[in-house]
A and B are shown apart, each in its own frame.
Chain A
Amino acid sequence: MTKLVSLKEAIARHVPDGSAVALGCALEPAIPFAAAHELIRQRKRDLRLIGPISDIAFDMLIGSGCVAEVHAAWVGNVSAGLAHCYRRAMEQGIPRRIIVRDHSNFTMALSLLAGALGAPYIATRTLLRSDIPRANGTFKEATSPWDGSKVLLIPPLVPDVTIIACQRADADGNAHQWGPWGVSQEAALAAKTVIVLADEVVDRAVIASDPNRTICPGIKVAAVVHVPGACHPSPLQGRYARDHEFFHEYHRATREAAGFERWIAEWVTGVPDHAAYLAKLGPRWTALRETGEPAAEARF
């Protein structure tokens, strides 16, 4: 059964206001910026974002007033510095106040893993002397019933929808992603539903020829969207490199709220869809394309 829809339709249908949305789950690469842009174009409100790093995707959503709550380990601009919209929201309530649930990358991974396993919690030894558990407010300190040591219990996070970007998927949502996975697999398996943004849509036989590369089975997926270049300015392994300068330009342009408004008008609300965004990038986009190296054959 085909689940192929347009990005507009996928976001309109599967991400109602107030949803808990996980995205950017591979950390710095494979961030589905095209989906973040569409959430902004559709003026989604009161989203609860879940993601470890997000490299400016969360910052754009926060600055656009789409966000009520952030569950994250880090919100910033990895190669440029602080996240200006996140700062304005937290320091001045501009454009609105948001609630933050602090995590580390490990507790983010464990929360989603607990969700993926259907487990009531997962015990860990990280962060025992950190202030993050107190700030997060959902972890509990406990004593291990086996050795009496202090442990931290991490409850599950269950996203309403997880959005992942991948190199290729079939029309049923069986998705091949290569490169590091970060917390993508746990986030997809934990979620009530998954939207897949595929750089390329392929026949089922391509997926079935190499099933170890499947990050998420089609049974979890509600919508498959064919979006070439969905991750720009973040990279997608074997397809295109990171556009470092784009991150740095965003950093310089968004220091003030008015500059952010101009930036979003130019790059997001002022373009109808992702194809138009890539066309606007022009030769800059084509220069990022990579062909990568072939993997050795594995025979099944």
Chain B
Amino acid sequence: MDVSPGELMVAQAAREIADRDVVFVGMRLPLIAFVVAKRTHAPNAIGLFELGVVRDAPAPELLYTMGDTPNVRGAVWCARTVDLMGLLQQGAVDAGFIGGAEMDRHGNLNTTAIGADRAHPTVQLPGSGGGADIASLAKRLIVIMPHDKRRLRDKVDFITSPGDHVSVLITTLGVFRFVDGEAVLASYHPRSSVQVCAEHTGWPLRVAPNVSETASPSSEVRRIIRGYDPDGFWTRRGD
């Protein structure tokens, strides 16, 4: 079975977590990336979930939301949202990771609405959740989103989550690092290329001098992802 874009994104996102990091884990794909990191190179990472859960061990079964009962059972702290947001605001959180709908080249994310007038949007998106707080207050931000010209836009209509602390953008086609506040393509995934990334990016692509192919997940990481998400609910969506 080929590695899916979802599996590549999860594997890359997991690599961004260092052992002993305190990590704010957002909804959807970040939920599984945290589990992969915990089960591989970052066994001592601590996961903070904005609804008020702190875990030092990964959830034993696939999570559809951070409030699923397996994510609460075995937690080391059940608390209030404001307690965890307080840790974030005092600077105790190393990294946060979130998904996005639209991003500009400076890492500003829009998850609120598409269209010039917020009160009368062309497309109403769900909103910030805790994303804007994580983006404003975490030391570094890891963003995971599909790679599409309509999503990677020269300018976003609404800045939900400011891009000041974005360290990496992981897409379905490649990985961007931020140099002087601007996205630079650092690697392209297997079966993608610099050319393909450029065609699907809504700003003139900047490419790192040492751009290379994204490392494929090891067989161990693939096994963990497929064991955890056997039906591909998160990692083989739309495949």
Contacts and interface: CB of A to CB of B under 8 A. Distances in A.
A-B complex is real: yes
Interface string B132-171: 1101110000000000000000000011111010000000
Interface stretch (A105-113, A138-146, A254-262, A271-279): A105-113
Nearest to B161: A130
B79 A181 contact: yes
A182 B51 contact: yes
Nearest to B101: A82
B127 A73 contact: yes
B181 to A, nearest CB: 12
A174 to B, nearest CB: 19
A175 interface: no
Interface in A179-232: 179-186
Greatest chain B CB density within 10 A among A28, A131, A235 is at A131
A237 B124 CA distance: 32
B183 interface: no
Interface in B83-132: 85, 88-89, 112-113, 118-132
Q: Sort chain B's interface into a size bin.
A: 35 or more
Greatest chain A CB density within 10 A among B80, B81, B85 is at B81
Q: Sort chain A's interface into a size bin.
A: 35 or more
Interface string A86-119: 1100110000000110111110111001000000
Nearest to A125: B89
Contact of A82 (B53, B65, B85, B126): B126
B78 interface: yes
Contact of A91 (B64, B121, B126, B131): B121
Contacts, number: 187
A60 interface: no
Greatest chain A CB density within 10 A among B79, B80, B123 is at B80
A52 B128 CA distance: 10
A291 to B, nearest CB: 11
Contacts of B119: 99-100
B52 interface: yes
Interface stretch (B68-76, B172-180, B202-210, B221-229): B68-76
A109 B85 contact: yes
A87 B132 contact: no
Given A29-B51, A91-B122, A105-B81, A292 B130 contact: no
A72 B89 contact: no
Overall SS of chain A's interface: loop
B67 A73 contact: no
A135 B158 contact: yes
Contact of B79 (A55, A79, A180): A180
Contact of A74 (B72, B73, B128, B164): B128
A292 B124 contact: no
Greatest chain B CB density within 10 A among A30, A130, A186, A238 is at A130
Interface of A: 26-30, 52-53, 55, 72-76, 78-79, 82-83, 86-87, 90-91, 99-100, 102-106, 108-110, 113, 124-132, 135, 178-186, 234-235, 237-238, 241-242, 244, 290, 292-293
5 contacts: A79-B28, A91-B120, A130-B161, A181-B81, A242-B64
Interface of B: 27-28, 49-53, 64-69, 72-73, 78-82, 85, 88-89, 112-113, 118-133, 135-137, 158-162, 164
